[in-house]
Amino acid sequence: MKIRGFEICSDYLNDNINLPIRKTKNSVGYDIEAATDTIIPSIWKIVFKNIKNFLSGKKNYEEIKPTLIPTGLKSYFCDDEVLILANKSSFPIKKGLVMANSIGIVESDYYNCNANEGHLQFMYYNISFFDVTIKKGESCGQAYFQKFLKADNDIATSTRTGGFGSTN
């Protein structure tokens, strides 16, 4: 009987994806690797381009958006648990990468959802002055399982109808 773990999404079965591991016996998080090379552009390129457009009287401004790093993974776990996706502690200092959503919250019903099979992705902004490339196989974040509690008066009854970000 499976309780909690990681699996490779069907679209990535032939892409040499490694299942996450903890690096030491006391590690909390499972290190997650990028499934593809991903360039995370510097937000400053967009900021300076928008300033230039503003000073030139142009009205078109480029939106600053986070970059998703695909992992090729999905995760299963108990209904009273959550999978938390977190930044690597070294990324803000060494690479200027911060997670756009601070932490990623993954609910158990995201596993095998119709929209994207429950594909785990990390969402980053690059606050450094230079583009950052995360190579396939490079650790791009960490994940950890945690129990959660419900309030006495909890009345949630609806079910997931979509994938990433679908619970609003």
pLDDT value at residue 158 = 80
pLDDT in tens, 7-60: 999 999 999 999 999 999 999 999 999 999 999 999 999 999 999 999 999 988
Range of the domain at 55: 5-147
With respect to residue 159, please indicate whether it lies within any of the assigned structural domains.
no
Q: Which two tokens stand for residue 62?
A: 């480029």
Residue at 106 is within a domain:
yes
Q: Coil, strand or helix: which one is 83?
A: strand
- Close Cβ partners of 26 (under 8 Å, ≥ 6 residues apart): none
* Residue 63, helix vs strand vs coil: coil
Could you tell me the CATH number of the domain that includes residue 92? 2.70.40.10
| b/e per residue 142-168 (b: at least 16 CB within 10 A) | bbebeeeeeeeeeeeeeebeeebeeee
Does residue 24 fall inside a structural domain? yes
